[in-house]
Structure 1
């Protein structure tokens, strides 16, 4: 697997070694030993999530203020633009974000550590996203920052407004968000 650090070094992309021929392909989507050797991180995943969304659906920017979740995200069908926003006040990259295109074809994954808000927008007709988390979903601790926060100035690769849930539409501005120390 090839691990590439992003402009925010705690976030990285992972490209698996894919073995393919006329019959199809095979790859390891996760290997704990290789992940630990490449990143120096020892993480334990406790939950796998799967979402399916149609074109222009935007999910996020989500995080849990208690029971924070690290997420290893990949796309098994379609294409998304995936973002991670550093919401750790003590970090030198506080308020910065990184994004990457995850597709079924490129098989890239993104590691979003705890202390980050996460979101994605679907660019294909439909996309299915799988992600592993380091802690369990705790709706009482879930928070949401507005996807179009002017201070964050995320550059979503679509024209017009995305389709968002009522919960995401009610997300708070970054300056008002409960963040990590």
Structure 2
């Protein structure tokens, strides 16, 4: 099972990805984690990424795409994977298509969690309050101001992927405002029907 999760920040992608990992025995792949792992492993691409990050610049699509391509070729991805936080742009989506074709694979589905943006602010605030109450660190992006900035960035760069994957017949939309368990059940129903 090879999946992409789409949806704005706070939509529940991380929560649902963790459940999919458990249910299907597949790997969740986050670009941040993949970048850090490639840097730590000292791979050729990881060293390029390290130099860019140390210079304070953004890692290019070319480097990120290569890191993703390398990672999905690893043995633990043979049963499948979930791309979380990637692709973020149409150019990256094209790169995913190309790398999957080169590897003789295909995406099974792109699952979009559709949510009410204003309700997401409440989710973010609650997540921060829950973390504080549990004595855990609060994510620096769990403030309404930072969230609004992230949401604008999502709609500018990532939201166009909905149309891209709809046109390819891969898009499966899920009501992300339902309860966590209801969202999980809806995703599982969609995946079983593939």
Q: TM-score range by the shorter chain?
A: under 0.3
- Please, what TM-score do these two structures have when normalized by structure 1? 0.25
Q: Quick check: which has more Rg, 1 or 2?
A: 2
Q: TM-score, normalised by structure 2?
A: 0.24
Q: Which has the higher strand share?
A: 1
